[in-house]
């Protein structure tokens, strides 16, 4: 059974999730616009516009998903990993040994 999270831990997790969503949407949108811009600026043939936009949208979506997972994995909160505050790696202190920060 996991211990109850504090309000600060819940707020931190919420901020990390929102940051992941916003940054992933931004990067995915930039990829879509970057790949889709030749339709507007280069005057592509009409038969290429649909497939070109579809590929741009799929790559933008793939970038969104990769960025979202990357940020959520990178910003893992210690409380989610079972780490205890003040102890490296969540390891319990060992009796009879000096703590590294003492």
Tokens of 21: 């969503």
Give residue-wise pLDDT tens across range 11-62: 888 999 999 999 999 999 999 999 988 888 887 787 888 898 999 999 999 9
Tokens of 44: 């592509």
Quote the pTM value: 0.65
Give dist(CA 26, CA 37) in Å, integer. 16
Give residue-wise pLDDT tens across range 52-97: 899 999 999 999 999 999 998 886 655 555 555 554 555 555 566 6
Question: How many Cα atoms within 13 Å fall on the side-chain side of residue 61?
Answer: 6
Mutual angle of helices 46-74 and 7-41, in 10-degree steps? 160
Determine the Cα angle at 49 with ends 44 and 50, to 5°: 170
């Amino acid at each position: 059974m996991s211990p109850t999270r504090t309000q600060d831990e819940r707020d931190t997790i919420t901020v990390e999730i929102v940051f992941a969503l916003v940054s992933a949407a931004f990067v995915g949108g930039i990829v879509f616009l970057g790949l889709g811009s030749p339709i507007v600026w280069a005057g592509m043939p009409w038969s290429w516009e649909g497939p070109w936009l579809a590929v741009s949208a799929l790559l933008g979506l793939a970038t969104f998903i990769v960025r979202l997972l990357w940020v959520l994995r990178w910003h893992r909160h210690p409380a989610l990993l079972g780490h205890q505050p003040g102890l490296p790696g969540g390891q319990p202190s060992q009796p009879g040994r000096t703590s590294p920060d003492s």
